[in-house]
Amino acid sequence: MNTEKTIIIGSGPAGLTAGMYSARAQLQPLIFEGSTPGGQLMGTTYVDNWPSIPHILGPELMMQMKQQTHTLGARFAARTITRVDFSQDTFVLWDNKNTEYHAHSVIITTGATPKRLGCAGEDTYWGKGVTTCAVCDGAFYKNKPVVIVGGGDTAMENASFMTNFTNDITIIHILDTLTASKAMQERVLNNPSIKIRYMNTVGSIEGNGTHVTGITLTNKVTGETSSVATDAIFIAIGSTPNTAPFKGHIELDNYGYIVLKQFTQTSVKGVFAAGDVTDYRYRQAIASAGTGCMAALDAERFLKENNR
């Protein structure tokens, strides 16, 4: 069986940038696009924070990057890696059709999947007011009412970040107390721009066909419903790193994110990781692209050092 020099798992900004760098180094990387080709930006509308392009649709940005990666010599497989064996020097991987692949180096860029509410209107208005990233989309909602869903650190951070833009912020939390750290809670509780609706869940998201206009809440104790007019819903109820196939094969942290040992190297030499699958803190496309570049250079160096 042919052994690939580099297999890249995932095709968001980290995977594609790793692909570009590997391809330019003549390694002819094989990129597994996975179940969501292009990654999280495929579910957004406009991106205003990609350096060099002032304003572009998320899917368009990713299509450009894929085309560029392809032109540079990377190969794409429209499949998902579901199983791996990293125990030997030659790594073995299987895709969702049980086809087997061998590789001298692997770069994991499978990202993380933000948890969804699962309520009516969420899919319809995803990317049209429903978002998971205040840093990315906050600037679109200057002086507008916004809602944050969640009670943990990320929700508090989103609420705190949104005070840069508006003084009409409502946090919706399912419990009667916040689960965020004390310090984070205080920043929010002491801020007059932020209201908190405890013991409420989002029953549905309403809109005018093109954008969110409000939500309907259900009080968990009384069962009463109420409406909140809002232009944006920032869902901050956690993310799931896409690391199921790697469990037991490389070290993961308590939340399932990949642990990096030295630069971009995982606990297995020759296996590297980049992007949101290792990053619960920044979660920005440009940051993922940067670490994707680093992982590709580390993989190239690894191959040379080991004469592969």
Q: Which residues are catalytic?
A: 133, 136-137
Does 112 bind a second copy (CB under 8 A)? Our answer is no
Picking from 264, 262, 266, 261, the residue whose alpha carbon sits closest to that of residue 248 is 266
How many residues touch a second copy (CB under 8 A)?
50
Distance CA 57, CA 134 (A): 17
Range 251-270, binding a second copy (CB under 8 A)? 263
Picking from 215, 247, 218, the residue whose alpha carbon sits closest to that of residue 229 is 215
CB-hemisphere CA count at 13 Å for 295?
Answer: 38
Stretch that binds a second copy, among 30-38, 219-227, 240-248, 281-289 (CB under 8 A): 281-289
Picking from 129, 128, 127, the residue whose alpha carbon sits closest to that of residue 41 is 127
- Cα–Cα distances (Å) from 285 to 42, 65, 98, 241, in that order, read 12, 12, 31, 15
Q: Which of 171, 289, 299, 302 binds a second copy (CB under 8 A)?
A: 289
Q: Which of 120, 135, 175, 259 binds a second copy (CB under 8 A)?
A: 135
- Cα–Cα distances (Å) from 210 to 107, 112, 130, 207, in that order, read 38, 27, 11, 7
Does 168 bind a second copy (CB under 8 A)? Our answer is no
* Closer residue to a second copy, CB minimum distance, 1 or 183: 183
Q: Which of 7, 8, 9, 16 binds a second copy (CB under 8 A)?
A: 16
For the record, the structure tokens of 252 come out as: 């993961």
Stretch that binds a second copy, among 158-166, 200-208, 223-231, 237-245 (CB under 8 A): 158-166
Range 62-81, binding a second copy (CB under 8 A)? 64-65, 67-68, 71-72
Distance CA 178, CA 171 (A): 10
Q: Which of 80, 242, 266, 291 binds a second copy (CB under 8 A)?
A: 291
Can you list the positions of beta strands (E) in the chain? 3-9, 30-32, 46-47, 56-57, 75-77, 81-85, 91-95, 100-108, 112-114, 130-131, 146-149, 169-172, 194-197, 200-207, 212-219, 225-229, 232-235, 239-241, 271-273
* Closer residue to a second copy, CB minimum distance, 65 or 81: 65
Stretch that binds a second copy, among 170-178, 212-220, 229-237, 278-286 (CB under 8 A): 278-286
3-state secondary structure of 214: strand
* Closer residue to a second copy, CB minimum distance, 67 or 227: 67
Q: Which of 24, 79, 102, 220 binds a second copy (CB under 8 A)?
A: 24
Distance of CA 148 to the CA centre of its chain: 18
Does 21 bind a second copy (CB under 8 A)? Our answer is yes
* Closer residue to a second copy, CB minimum distance, 68 or 216: 68
Residues forming the site for a second copy (CB under 8 A): 13, 16-17, 20-21, 24-27, 48-54, 61, 64-65, 67-68, 71-72, 135, 138-139, 157, 160-161, 164-165, 183, 187, 263, 281-282, 284, 286-291, 293-294, 297, 300-301, 304-305
